Amino acid sequence: MKSAGIVVEYNPFHNGHLHHILQTKRITGAEVLIAVMSGHFLQRGEPALLSKWARAKMALHSGVDLVVELPYYFATQKAETFAFGAIALLHELGVDSFCFGSESGDIKTFEKTANLLEEQNEQIQNEVQKWIKTGISYPKAQSLAMKNVLKDVSLLDTSKPNNILGLQYIKAKNRLSPDMKAYTIPRQGAGYHDKQPNKSIASATGIRHSIFHPNGVRLDGVKPYVPNATFTELKKYLSTFGVLHHWELYWPYLQYQLLSAKPKELQSIYEVEEGIEYRLIEAAHQSTSFQQFMESVKTKRYTWTRLQRMCVHILTHASKEQMAAESDYPSYIRVLGMTSKGREYLRNVKKTLQIPLIAKASAYRNLLTADIKATNIFAMGLPSNKRSALLNSDLLFSPVIIP
């Protein structure tokens, strides 16, 4: 079976994602489509709107055949580690090709840039260090260093988030799986300067913005931009649990943690560096919401995203030690959901897999520590009498199966 992979967060699934799926199938000619999806906390350091189970269901209803989870160790990381983990899983699953959305939309540019980066890596790293010292953020320093060293205006615009990710996909592919074929399609919708914008496409950011209205959670504005299956799932989740997840639901726990933990405990948390724990503690005392907290800790050096990821790690007690030990290479493939075609694919590749394939998690609880904890902390965003529906779901749930 010819297979293709995609890397997704689906927060939530929308028409742009459907476009990505259809285009991927068309371009690659794949019969089976495999998505590596973040779990309950996402690359930008945010809780997902809905549980990973609900998001896996959305994906399976829209053309994905197999959803595997990008482990916490990779999902809540900067582009390089995130991309590496995702490509490693696609590599382990033996996909023939993969396809990502980007602002550029031109795979040649990605490949050329990746090659140049490889050749001039040392020089770029030196340049990055110089820029970092001026007090700017790492992504900005990297983008400036590349511009200065590569000096080729026709190269990739690495100030764009999906170009950055795409470049990391290509670098990971070159390293892990040179035979895997890479494709990119231009991103549709908000933020992409299309001459004839597709009216039914909005970005996930835009959709979340319209959901979290100052007067409460609203789904009406979302309907034109998502497939019916997504809309149904959103409505069902909201009526079952009374909430869609967002940072403010976790603010009391983050504030509690920052008020109760000793600075030394915070220093042991992944990404907490350079004494920022004191700044975080101080802000936790002064702030009445996550938004206010973030605004008061934000500096030129620390991007919003980096700070949010740090807060996720504080929330889940993810230690430097544990993250360092586990983010070298994924040590398992966790199946969140599949169609019968996805199941058949798994049956075929099963024997060649180098790392354990996990459908029922209870036998692998030690491998999944961080994902289980992330799920349980994610569940704390639900009202107390609803939490049990998600608590320990990693150990209790079987993969979502769609015929």
Q: Which stretch binds a copy of itself (CB under 8 A): 14-22, 122-130, 357-365, 373-381?
A: 373-381
The residue range among 47-55, 102-110, 200-208, 385-393 that interacts with a copy of itself, by the rule CB under 8 A, is 385-393
Q: If binding is defined by CB under 8 A, does position 384 make contact with a copy of itself?
A: yes
CA dist 30 and 34 (Å) reads: 10
Tokens representing residue 273 in the block: 């560096």
195 contact partners, CB below 8 Å, separation of at least 6: none
- Pick the piece of the chain touching a copy of itself (CB under 8 A) from 27-35, 36-44, 106-114, 386-394: 386-394
Cα–Cα distance, 56 to 269 (Å, whole number): 29
> Does 278 help bind a copy of itself (rule: CB under 8 A)?
no
d(CA 344, CA 339): 9
- Residue nearer to a copy of itself on the CB measure, 213 or 256: 256
Among 86, 204, 307, 377, binds a copy of itself (CB under 8 A): 377
253 touches a copy of itself by CB under 8 A = yes
CA distance 358 to 333: 6
CA distance 17 to 23: 10
Q: Is 252 in the site for a copy of itself (CB under 8 A)?
A: yes
316 near a copy of itself (CB under 8 A) = yes
Shortest distance in whole angstroms from residue 317 CB to a copy of itself: 5
262 binds a copy of itself (CB under 8 A): yes
Phi and psi at residue 248, in whole multiples of 5°? -60, -30
Among 196, 286, 352, 366, contact with a copy of itself (rule: CB under 8 A): 286
Nearest to 389 by CA among 236, 256, 270, 259: 236
Our finding on whether 366 is near a copy of itself (CB under 8 A) is no
Locate 209 and state its tokens: 């913005």
Nearer to a copy of itself, 58 or 314 (CB): 314
234-237 long-range CB contacts below 8 Å, 24 or more apart? 234/12, 234/49, 234/50, 236/54, 237/50, 237/51, 237/54
Is there binding between residue 296 and a copy of itself (CB under 8 A)?
Answer: no
User: Which residues participate in the annotated binding site for ATP?
Assistant: 7-20, 101, 162, 187
Residues that bind a copy of itself (CB under 8 A): 251-253, 255-257, 259-262, 265, 285-286, 288-289, 315-317, 373, 376-377, 380, 384-385, 387-388, 391-392
